[in-house]
Structure 1
Amino acid sequence: MDWLERINRAMDYIEQNLSNEIDFKEVARLACCPEYHFPRMFSSMTGVTMSEYIRRRRLSLAAFELQNNANVRILDLALKYGYDSPDAFSRAFKTLHGVNPTVARNKGIELKAIPRLSFQISIKGAVEMDYRIEELDFEIEIVGVKQKVTTKDAFQVIPKLWAEATENGLLQRLINMSWEQPQCKMEGILGVVGKQAAITDEDFEYLMGCRYTRELPADMEKITLPKSTWAVFPNISEAWQRLYTEWLPVADYELADLPCIENQLAPDRVPNSELWVPVISRR
């Protein structure tokens, strides 16, 4: 099953469950993508968050029902499309359509139709994407501090964790430790997401650390990653935006069952960050 087929299968599931509770773990499973990464992939491809897309699709369907069924109640539509009250539904409806649901029943009222998404290959412009493949034929020991992160809030919470690490001195400790015994490659300050790339739980442990082989500090933990292959991309934010839409669909690699690692390099390095993505060959 190719990449486009997997993504469109996930979109089919969303479409079939707009009037039910949508299981985001199932969406990610159908797309064969880690739950942690799928929302970012979706946003980078569409320019809108997945939750916002679902909200807009539901309100679009609600508008059609109001126009075509004079007997449908506002309360029933609110409950059908996941709102706790008619007031909450009405506010969201007006934000999208510009009118209240009661007004939307009238013919001649201009409403918004949000079409369902499907994905196709398109030519976006020949902008090269730099990467390299690293074969690390040795185990990697990473030492640091773990924090529990809720999966659905990860992209908001993790930057705050790093800000706190700067304020409380943890970041400087990691910098000092990384200087004590510099390691070749993957030598920066690391953010390790969970234990596996395919995060399916409601929360996971995020480790802020560095490669370190001396005595383990009492307040830190150690993880060991096996020999593995990595696709390495410069500039973390740009890499996340283009990884799923431009690189994975054409690469001869799939995600491996290891965590992705955000590698923060020295501020004077160009680029000053790298995204390390664990991969296995499709051949």
Structure 2
Amino acid sequence: MTTAQRNYQGRMQRVLDYVDTHLDDELDLATLSQVAAFSKFHFHRQFSATFGLSVHRYVQLARLKRASQALACGGTPSVTSIAMDAGYDAPDAFARAFRQRLAQSPSAFRKSPDWSSWLSAFGPLDNARDKAMQIIFEKNDVTILNMPDIPVAILAHRGDRAKFRESTDRFRAWCKAAGLSPETGRSSFMVFRSEREPAAPEDYSVDLCVGTDRSIGTEDAPMKAGTIPGGRCAVLRYPGNSTNLEPAALYLYREWLPQSGEEARDFPIYARRQLAPVANVRAYEVVVDLFLPLK
């Protein structure tokens, strides 16, 4: 990356950091373009081109995420108060936006949060940050763990990545119906059996898995039972809920593995996503670990 590119991304990153720490302030186009030191006449297009969503949408989602966490805390603030803090003039407008995004009313979410829908709802925020972050991994970021055998239910996706969303939707729907959603404490896994972008798109191959020891029958199709085999693994934690773990995988294969003296075991690299509680509140963030099986 050139110096000019690093400078440009740094200015955009500054905007995201400013939004996160000034959610109670006026976050209009003029203010944020000044933070980035870009022309206000072009900034909205620059932001959308960089992050894949508009400035207004990013701010709205960031405030809605904070509101959802305030609801989940189970404290005393009323829904009206939380709605005002989120920038809505009336509770009904807040309720409509909340229900549209999270498929639950604010009161229902406060009583029993659906964290699976919550993860999906705020994915665009994670994706935006992922595009802005140029992550540099170091040797000390990798730990070696002895993993146990993990019984899982598997949905195998085989074919073009363009249809991968259909597989993930089926996988999430089955997990939710089976009581294996993230909020139950179950981890989900992705076993990468091909390159992220193979030469032939139809060769793309990934197993979507959820940890469970329950019996998987024919009525559960296309799910099937399986096991992620235990053993020694090099583990690299990814900072954020990224959908692109390629930079982390490249670091493990290109830099860490040749320097470590270790050899890869005959099982594909895989990722584990799980919900980790945020300290002192009833809210969660996603933790993503990448596992390279070792001999």
Q: Provide the TM-score with structure 2 as the length reference.
A: 0.38
Q: Provide the TM-score with structure 1 as the length reference.
A: 0.40
Higher relative contact order (CA 8 A, sep 6+): 1
Structure with bigger helix share is 2
